[in-house]
Amino acid sequence: MTFVYPYKKKESDFSIRHSIKSVLKHYPNATVYTIGDKVESVLNIPFIDSNIIRGANVTAKILHFAKLGLFENFIYMNDDFFINERFDFNRIHQGTEQLERKEGKASIAWNQAVDNSKHWLEHNGYNTTTYECHQPVQFNSKLLIETFNRLEWKHHDHFLKSIYFNVNEPTNPKPIENVKIIEPQIDRAQKYLTLYGCFSIGNGFLTETGANFIKMLT
């Protein structure tokens, strides 16, 4: 399998280094790429951000990788995703809700991404199920290119996964909770690893306790 991380270097590369370790621990024959900035010991395809909107830069990186034509399918990862052997890459995981604004609970950019994605999907007759659960997904390069050739995404907040999978609906999708954990809730991380084989972290997770837990996993 091929795992692709769109990556812009941060003050610390702790999360992405250990995310990659979690991949290689359970899939030792995997091919791992970063698109954008380099991480030591894995393949890198340089890419310079040119958009003001952060999400647009992520989409640009992933589309760039797809257009290289190196692989028919690949796994889209973020630098704060962690997996084990239980995660099923042959099933697409979706949320149990529709794309909806979260007034007072989400950022302005997040709510704008909801509005823009939902408007485009509804206008074109597609469902608006959320796939924004902070989980890895498998993309088909050809379908990804075809889908995003249909919309103007460079100057608008949007959801890459939700647009792609509502246009290219998976067969028998598997419901999943939002597996993002903001605080170092180790029991909750263990629960998600047992149920789904993955979890994601926010910056608040990386206390000494949280960091030691991730080191133990990888």
pLDDT for 26-45, tens place per residue? 999 999 999 999 999 999 99
Question: How many folded domains does the chain comprise?
Answer: 1
What pTM did the predictor assign?
A: 0.96
Whether residue 91 contacts residue 133, with contact meaning beta carbons closer than 8 Å, is answered with: no
Share of the chain above pLDDT 90, in %: 94
Confidence at residue 104, expressed as pLDDT on a 0 to 100 scale: 80
Query: Tokens 């991404």, residue?
Result: 113
C-alpha–C-alpha distance, residues 153 and 180, integer Å: 25
pLDDT confidence of 106, banded at 50, 70, 90? confident
What is the CATH number for 175?
3.90.550
Query: Structural domain of residue 203, as residue ranges?
Result: 2-217
Q: Which of 21, 19, 43, 41 is nearest to 31 (CA)?
A: 43
Given a cut of 90, whether residue 61 has pLDDT beyond it is yes
pLDDT confidence of 25, banded at 50, 70, 90? very high
Query: Tokens 């950022």, residue?
Result: 107
Burial class (CB in 10 A: 0-12, 13-18, 19+), 19: buried
Mean pLDDT, the chain, rounded, equals: 96
Given a cut of 90, whether residue 109 has pLDDT beyond it is yes
